Structures are given as structure tokens and as C-alpha cells.
């Protein structure tokens, strides 16, 4: 009995040591070649994208002008993002990084959301942006970030960006993932297809059906 227990302890220690010394498993896998420009049209599905034949790779595969100008922020939230993730910028494939430009109208909100596969480094280019993120224990960290200042949001944690300045605001969000993903709880609750069962929503929010329907009506078309 005692020896099997110490055997078990040894196994646990080995597993713990392996986990502690392998933080790399939490990010995109490192590339095994100089480049692997995404073949976005490949029939084969892999975790990521297969590589275009090297002979067909051109200069523009490593170039993107997606961040040059801002998208329209003429919507109820006063926000819009342009994403240079792997599907818009094939040269990023296997490199474990991507970038998004977000424009905020005065008072605009990038509503609470999370990126399951990437930490986010926020660089404010223009204006004043309140960045906040929440932890698994519901602690809120927040800061007003100004031009050329940075804020970092750890992987997977829910966060928001609110324009608290007088004019427009612009920030770049850099990710340690080629495709960080985007989860928006408001949409994941009130705008799913098919709709989430009413009973789930009334019980979750301790609300009546009329109140839930009123919430849902705000997110039609998003």
C-alpha cells in the first residue's frame, strides 16, 4: 500500500514538473520552416492552414495595408475593427501573431469580449481609451490609456475598451496568436442561431420573458 502510494506520488510529481516546464503548449505551435504562407483555398483541413507551394509565394503574401485607414464606426456601439489575422493576411500562418485596428467614435464602446487563443497587447494611437479586464475571480483591472501607451490583457480574459476622450480614438491590438478568436457574451446569449431557449435566459438573468425579449430585440442583426 505504502509503496503504491509513493509510486503514485512520483507520477504526480513528474506530471507537475512536465506541466511547469512546458508553458509553450499554451500558445500557437512554433513554425518548423521559414514560412508557411496560408493556402486559404486548400481542400485539406488542418489545425491552422496548409502552406502554399513555396514556388507560388510572392512579396505581397507578407504584406498587409489593412491597418492604414479606419472602418466606419457608424453603428449603435460606435466601434469597428479591422482584423489582420491569418485569414486576411496569409503570411501570418504558423507565426503565432496577428493584429487588429479598432476605431472608436466619441463615447464608443468595444463591448466586453474575450479571445480564447490569445493575449492582447493594446497600443493606443489616438485619443483616450479606458481598457478594463476581469479575472476568473471577478476582479476588475482598468486604466485610461493614452496615445502611445500600452495595456495588456491576459489570454482568454473578458475585457472592454471605452472611448473616454473628447474625439475619436484608435488602438492597435496585437495578439500572440494567428487567429485569437472572438467571443462576445452579449451576442452569445441574445443573438445565437438558433436562439438560446427562453427558459435558459429567464433563469440565468432572473428576468421575465418580456425583459429577455426586450434585451434580444437590441441585438437583432448583430
Ligand X SMILES: *[C@@H]1O[C@H](CO)[C@@H](O)[C@H](O)[C@H]1NC(C)=O
Long-range CB contacts (< 8 A, 24+ apart) of 215-220?
A: 215/190, 216/190, 216/191, 218/190, 219/186, 219/187, 219/190, 219/191, 220/191
**Under rule CB under 6 A, which residues in 19-78 are in contact with ligand X?**
71-72, 75
Show the binding pattern over residues 71-110: x = contacts ligand X (CB under 6 A), - = does not: xx--x----x------------------------------
User: Per CB under 6 A, does 114 bind ligand X?
Assistant: no
Nearest to 88 by CA among 99, 74, 80, 72: 99
The answer to whether 211 is a known ligand-binding residue is no
CB 153 within 8 A of CB 159: yes
Report how far apart, in Å, the C-alpha atoms of 60 and of each of 64, 90, 91, 151, 164 are: 7, 10, 9, 31, 37
With contacts defined by CB under 6 A, how many residues of the chain interact with ligand X? Answer: 4
80 annotated to bind ligand: no
Give least dist CB 104 to ligand X, A: 12
Q: Which is nearer to ligand X, 134 or 186 (CB)?
A: 186
Shortest gap between Cβ of 52 and ligand X (angstroms)? 27
**What is the Cα–Cα distance from 191 to 194, expressed in whole angstroms?**
8
Annotation-wise, does 110 bind a ligand? Answer: yes
Contacting residues for 83 by C-beta, under 8 A, at least 6 apart:
66, 98, 100
CA 204 vs. chain centroid, Å, equals 25
Q: Was 138 annotated as part of a binding site?
A: no
Q: What is the dihedral of CA 198, 201, 204, 210, to 10 degrees?
A: -90
CA proximity to 84, closest of 67, 104, 103, 59:
67
Q: How far is the CB of 111 from ligand X (least distance, A)?
A: 12
CA nearest neighbour of 117 among 76, 154, 62, 146: 154
Q: Cβ of residue 9: shortest distance to ligand X, in angstroms?
A: 55
Nearest-approach distance from CB 108 to ligand X, in angstroms:
11
Site for ligand X in 181-220 (CB under 6 A): none
Smallest distance, ligand X to C-beta of residue 89, A: 17
- Pick 71 or 181: Cβ nearer ligand X: 71
**Residue 163 labelled as part of a binding site:** no
The binding site for oxalate comprises 110, 115, 120
Query: Which residues contact ligand X (rule: CB under 6 A)?
Result: 71-72, 75, 80
The binding site comprises 110, 113, 115, 120, 159
Amino acid at each position: 500500500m505504502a509503496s503504491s502510494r509513493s509510486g503514485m506520488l512520483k507520477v504526480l510529481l513528474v506530471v507537475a514538473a512536465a506541466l511547469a516546464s512546458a508553458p509553450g503548449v499554451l500558445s500557437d505551435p512554433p513554425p518548423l520552416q521559414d514560412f508557411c504562407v496560408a493556402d486559404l483555398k486548400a481542400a485539406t483541413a488542418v489545425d491552422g492552414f496548409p502552406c502554399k507551394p513555396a514556388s507560388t509565394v510572392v512579396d505581397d503574401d507578407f504584406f498587409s495595408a489593412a491597418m492604414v485607414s479606419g472602418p466606419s464606426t457608424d453603428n449603435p456601439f460606435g466601434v469597428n475593427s479591422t482584423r489582420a489575422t491569418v485569414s486576411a493576411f496569409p503570411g501570418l500562418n504558423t507565426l503565432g501573431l496577428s493584429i487588429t485596428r479598432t476605431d472608436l467614435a466619441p463615447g464608443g464602446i468595444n463591448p466586453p469580449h474575450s479571445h480564447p487563443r490569445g493575449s492582447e497587447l493594446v497600443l493606443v494611437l489616438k485619443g483616450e481609451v479606458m481598457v478594463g479586464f476581469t479575472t476568473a475571480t471577478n476582479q476588475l483591472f482598468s486604466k485610461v490609456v493614452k496615445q502611445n501607451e500600452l495595456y495588456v490583457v491576459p489570454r482568454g480574459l473578458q475585457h472592454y475598451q471605452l472611448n473616454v476622450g473628447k474625439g475619436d480614438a484608435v488602438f492597435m491590438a496585437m495578439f500572440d496568436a494567428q487567429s485569437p478568436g472572438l467571443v462576445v457574451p452579449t451576442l452569445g446569449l441574445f443573438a445565437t442561431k438558433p436562439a438560446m431557449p427562453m427558459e435558459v435566459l429567464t433563469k440565468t438573468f432572473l428576468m421575465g420573458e418580456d425583459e429577455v425579449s426586450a434585451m434580444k430585440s437590441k441585438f437583432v442583426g448583430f
